[in-house]
C-alpha cells in the first residue's frame, strides 16, 4: 500500500476471526483474462492494485470500530501487500446532520477512517447513494475528517471541481489517477456537486464525467474509474451501465471497477479497458440473503499495461460482517459462480491481441 495512508492513527487490538490457512486459491478474473492458473509473485517492476466492494460500520459491523486496527480482519493482508488498494465507503462519516428523505440511512463515526487505513486502504470513493444520508453537514464532516487524517477521497467534494478531480499518485514510476462516479438515481439531482455546491460526482453529468476521465488520462499513465451503479440484486449489467462504460473507456479509462448491486457481477474486456461490473457487499451491516459471496479484485500492471487480473473469493462472516478470504470448497464454489457471471456482461474474454 502507499505510505501516505499510514498517516491515519492505527489502533492495534485483539484480532477477530482467525485468518484462513495458507494456500488460498486465486482465480483469473474473467475466462480469458491475461493470466495463468498459477499465482506467481509479481516481478520487481510489477504494480498490484486491489479493490473491495461496499463498506460501512453500522449495526453488526459497528462494534468492529472498538478495535479499528483489526476491523477488517484477515482480508487486510491482501490490501496491505498491494501497491494501491481501494474500496467504496458507503456511509456518511459524521455524528451530525438530518436524515435525507429516503429509506436507508448509514452514519459512521470517524474511527472508520482509522479502520480503513489499518486495513491497508489508500483511497476511498464516496460517490454512492449514502454519502449524503445526513445532508451536506454530514458530507462536510466526511470530507473534513478524511482531510485531517490524510486519507484521499474521490467522487465527492466541496464543489464540482473537487468532486470530479482525480487523485493522482505515482507507484514505481507509473502515474495512476483514480476517479469515482455514481450512477444511482436516488436523490441525485439534489446531491450532485455544482460549481457553488458540495456534493457528489455523477455519471448523469455525462459530459463532465467524460471530460474528467480525459483530463485524468492526459495527466497520468493509468486511469482507474470506480463506479457505483447497477440494479440491486441483478447479476447482469444494465444497458445504462454498458453505455456509460463505453463512454469512459473511449475517454481513456484503463480499468472500470463497480459496486452497488449487493451481489457479484461479472467482468471482462471492452477493447483495452478492463471492466469489473460489480464487487458486491464487502464489510456489511446485515446478513443479506444471496449476497454474502464477495471477494477482492487484484489487477497487476507492467508499466501502464494490465498483465493479470484475479478474483480472490471471500465470504461475509454471518456474525461480524467481515469479508473472510475463502479456501477449499467454499472458494471453489464462489470462483465458479463468479466465472459464470461473465456470460451476460457483453464483454470480451481478453483484450485485443
19 has a pLDDT exceeding 50: no
Q: What is the pLDDT of residue 47?
A: 98
CATH architecture of 3-10+25-344: 4-Layer Sandwich (3.60)
Q: What is the pLDDT of residues 304-342, one digit of tens each?
A: 999 999 999 999 999 999 999 999 999 999 999 999 999
Q: What is the pLDDT of residues 64-97, one digit of tens each?
A: 999 999 999 999 999 999 999 999 999 999 999 9
The residue to which cell 449514502 is assigned: 130
Largest CA distance in the chain: 53
> Which are the contacts of 71, defined by CB distance < 8 A and separation ≥ 6?
16, 57, 61, 64, 65, 115, 118, 119, 283, 322
Q: What is the pLDDT of residue 302?
A: 97
At 44, is the pLDDT very low, low, confident or very high (cuts 50, 70, 90)?
Answer: low
Distance between CA 58 and CA 53 in Å, rounded?
Answer: 16
The ranges assigned to domains in the chain are 3-10+25-344
Let me know: does 141 contact 175? Beta carbons within 8 Å: no
- DSSP per position, 41-98: PPPTT-EEEEEEEEE---GGGGGGGGSGGGTTGGGHHHHHTSSEEEEEE-SEE-S---
Nearest to 229 by CA among 252, 248, 254: 248
Rounded to an integer, the average pLDDT of 205-226 is 98
- pTM of the full structure: 0.89
At 294, is the pLDDT very low, low, confident or very high (cuts 50, 70, 90)?
Answer: very high
Nearest to 197 by CA among 125, 139, 129, 123: 139
| β-pairing verdict for 264-270 and 273-279 | antiparallel
Q: What is the pLDDT of residues 196-213, one digit of tens each?
A: 999 999 999 999 999 999
Q: What is the pLDDT of residue 42?
A: 56
Amino acid at each position: 500500500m502507499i505510505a501516505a495512508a499510514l498517516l491515519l492513527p492505527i489502533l492495534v487490538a485483539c484480532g477477530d476471526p482467525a485468518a484462513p490457512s495458507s494456500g488460498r486459491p486465486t482465480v483469473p478474473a474473467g475466462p480469458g483474462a491475461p493470466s495463468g492458473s498459477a499465482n506467481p509473485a509479481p516481478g520487481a517492476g510489477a504494480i498490484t492494485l486491489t479493490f473491495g466492494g461496499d463498506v460501512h460500520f453500522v449495526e453488526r459491523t459497528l462494534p468492529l470500530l472498538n478495535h479499528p486496527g483489526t476491523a477488517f480482519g484477515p482480508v487486510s493482508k491482501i490490501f496491505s501487500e498491494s501497491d494501491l488498494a481501494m474500496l467504496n465507503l458507503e456511509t456518511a462519516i459524521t455524528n451530525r446532520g438530518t436524515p435525507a428523505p429516503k429509506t436507508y440511512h448509514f452514519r459512521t463515526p470517524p474511527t472508520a477512517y482509522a479502520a480503513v487505513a489499518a486495513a491497508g486502504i489508500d483511497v476511498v470513493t464516496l460517490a454512492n447513494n449514502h454519502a449524503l444520508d445526513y445532508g451536506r453537514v454530514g458530507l462536510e464532516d466526511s470530507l473534513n475528517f478524511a482531510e485531517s487524517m490524510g486519507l484521499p477521497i474521490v467522487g465527492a467534494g466541496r464543489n464540482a471541481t473537487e468532486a470530479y478531480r482525480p487523485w493522482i499518485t505515482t507507484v514505481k514510476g507509473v502515474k495512476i489517477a483514480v476517479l469515482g462516479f455514481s450512477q444511482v438515481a436516488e436523490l441525485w439531482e439534489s446531491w450532485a456537486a455544482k460549481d457553488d455546491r458540495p456534493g457528489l460526482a455523477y455519471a448523469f453529468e455525462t459530459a463532465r464525467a467524460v471530460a474528467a476521465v480525459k483530463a485524468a488520462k492526459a495527466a497520468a499513465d493509468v486511469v482507474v474509474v470506480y463506479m457505483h451503479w447497477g440494479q440491486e440484486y441483478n447479476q447482469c449489467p444494465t444497458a445504462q451501465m454498458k453505455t456509460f462504460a463505453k463512454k469512459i473507456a473511449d475517454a481513456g479509462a484503463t480499468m472500470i471497477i463497480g459496486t452497488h448491486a449487493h451481489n457479484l457481477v461479472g467482468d471482462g474486456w471492452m477493447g483495452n479497458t478492463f471492466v469489473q461490473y460489480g464487487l458486491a457487499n464487502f464489510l456489511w451491516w446485515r446478513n443479506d440473503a444471496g449476497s454474502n459471496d464477495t471477494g477482492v479484485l487484484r489487477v497487476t500492471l507492467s508499466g501502464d499495461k494490465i498483465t493479470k487480473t484475479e478474483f480472490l473469493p471471500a465470504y461475509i462472516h454471518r456474525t461480524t460482517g467481515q469479508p473472510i478470504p475463502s479456501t477449499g470448497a467454499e472458494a471453489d464454489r464462489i470462483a465458479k459462480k463468479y466465472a459464470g457471471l461473465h456470460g451476460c456482461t457483453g464483454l470480451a474474454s481478453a483484450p485485443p491481441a
